[in-house]
Amino acid sequence: MRGVSEGKKFKLAVLGSGQGSNMVAIAEACRAGGMPGEVAIVLSDAAGAGILIRATERGIRAEFIPPGKFRTKLDKEAEQAYIAALQQAQVDLVVLAGFMRILHGDFLRAFPERVVNIHPALLPSFPGLEAWKQALDYGVKLTGCTVHFVDQGIDTGPILAQQTVPVLDDDTPATLHERIQQAERVLSRLGAHLPQLNEKTEEKSSLPRRTAPAIQSRA
Ligand code: GRF
């Protein structure tokens, strides 16, 4: 994987399982100059997912890669297929935008500190699934979204940026999720986080790959 230095353009991959509104926000930000980069490839574990359709409509290479036999993670062969597609596309940064699978150590070792996730809550509160529903059930008055580097934990890793979102008295899971998604679409443009992204990717690109610490599988 290439190193990214200040002033260079990021070659981005976006992985998602859903409608792709965050991917569209990232692609639009790149096209409008708000993010110095391009979405080079979009991968999904869901055949016919909206994210693949929306990527194709924008002329972005989009591929469904079957996830294999598990429900919440990629199996070994699938993981290797994802790694191969991303390495072949020579991406600098992998963005998980609603990708509903836990990634293994092999994946993270292939892209050390080059994987970021968009999570619909103010981490470390409400990691895991349906974070907006968790927030509503708990009764917090403020939630939000987080962009963070992915490490071996579930929705852990250094935080790049957060945005707060109010919880209203008459919110349902659907209305709160929609408000959070609006904030996600702003936060996921990534351009505002370039100093941290550059710092991290520069740090890492100077490290010989083989000396990267072993990361335990999350499976
Ligand atoms: C977002 O709410 C994200 O935080 C969650 O899944 C949703 C993805 O939406 N994990 P989209 O596919 O980007 O529209």
Q: Which of 104, 119, 148, 177 is catalytic?
A: 119
Confidence of residue 140 (pLDDT cuts 50, 70, 90): very high
Helix (H), strand (E), coil (C) string for the chain? CCCCCCCCCEEEEEECCCCCHHHHHHHHHHHHCCCCEEEEEEEECCCCCHHHHHHHHCCCEEEECCCCCCCCECCHHHHHHHHHHHHHCCCCEEEECCCCCECCHHHHHHCCCCEEEEECCCCCCCCCCCHHHHHHHHCCCEEEEEEEECCCCCCCCCEEEEEEEECCCCCCHHHHHHHHHHHHHHHCCCHHHHHHHHHHHHHHHCCCHHHCCCCCCCC
**Cα pseudo-dihedral 153, 161, 53, 67, rounded to 10:** -10
Say what the pLDDT of residue 26 is: 94
Q: What is the mean pLDDT of residues 150-175?
A: 95
Q: In angstroms, what is the span from residue 178 Cα to ligand 1's centroid?
A: 10
Say what the pLDDT of residue 198 is: 72
Measured from CB, residues less than 6 Å from any atom of ligand 1 are: 16, 18-22, 51, 97-98, 118-120, 181, 184
Of 28-37, 119-128, 138-147, the one with minimum mean pLDDT is 28-37
Q: Percent of the chain, pLDDT > 70?
A: 84
Q: What is the mean pLDDT of residues 165-183?
A: 97
Concerning whether 119 is annotated as a catalytic residue, the answer is: yes
Q: Find where tokens 């679409």 sit.
A: 185
Of 44-48, 50-54, 148-152, 201-205, the one with minimum mean pLDDT is 201-205
Is pLDDT at 41 greater than 90 in this prediction?
A: yes
Q: How far apart are the first and last CA of the chain?
A: 25
Q: Ligand 1 pocket: which of 45, 184, 189 to mutate (most atoms <8 Å of CB)?
A: 184
pLDDT single digits (tens) 44-57: 999 999 999 999 99
Give pTM, 2 decimals. 0.87
Closest CA to 179 of 148, 144, 147: 144
Q: Find where tokens 């353009």 sit.
A: 9
Confidence of residue 9 (pLDDT cuts 50, 70, 90): confident
- Name 143's bridge partners: 165
Of 3-7, 12-16, 59-63, the one with minimum mean pLDDT is 3-7
- Mean pLDDT of the residues in the chain: 87
Say what the pLDDT of residue 121 is: 98
| CA distances (Å), origin 88, targets 4, 47, 84, 107 | 17, 21, 6, 14
Q: Which atom of ligand 1 is nearest to the CA of 99?
A: 10
Is pLDDT at 218 greater than 50 in this prediction?
A: no
Say what the pLDDT of residue 190 is: 73
Bigger pLDDT: 201 vs 188? 188
